[in-house]
Amino acid sequence: MKYSKIIALVFTVFLSIGANAQNGDMQKVEATIKAFVLAGDKNKADEIGNYLDDNYRIVMNRLFGSESVSTMDKATYVEKIRSKEYGGDTRKITILNLSSNGNSVSATVKLVGEKMTATSIFILLQDAKGNWKIVSDTVMIE
């Protein structure tokens, strides 16, 4: 009886530690997403690159009446922020869903701005230093 209580206590402690670590990571993921959006809204091209993995791709499926899928790499996206072709809005950020799978997270995020409303599915990866980086953004303009 005594051993079963000790085992239950140890199990509870490990679950608690794991939950706290995951909550801390989810807070870091949310902070990364918010910082990324804010940098775009303010056209801070040099800063926005800090939140993107070098393999970053934005995926646009049939946007603005198109019948095709188009992608854009990190360098092109950052340049469009720098030239103010993209960004320059003030958007409200609502994180609708976060799903963690170890060192990767998917996030569904609604962005409501003056220029447009969009829902994005972000994929974030945790690098070796513990930083979260956006590797993919699949966007739907409403």
Fold of 2-141: Nuclear Transport Factor 2; Chain: A, (3.10.450)
Place of tokens 């990866």: 125
Both tokens of 76, joined, read 């092109």
State pTM to two decimals: 0.81
Q: What is the model's pLDDT at position 62?
A: 79
Quickly list H helices, 42-130: 45-48, 74-82
69-78 pLDDT, tens digit each? 999 999 999 9
Q: What are the residue ranges spanned by the domains of the chain?
A: 2-141
What is d(CA 32, CA 50) in angstroms, rounded to the nearest whole number?
A: 10
pLDDT of residue 48: 97
Series of mean pLDDT values for 10-residue runs along the chain (142 residues): 53 41 82 97 96 96 82 96 95 96 96 95 96 96 86
pLDDT tens profile 88-115: 999 999 999 999 999 999 999 999 999 8
- pLDDT at residue 4, rounded to an integer: 58
pLDDT on residue 3 = 58
Give the CB-side neighbour count of residue 127, counting CA atoms within 13 A.
13
- The C-alpha atoms of residue 49 and residue 134 are separated, in whole angstroms, by 10
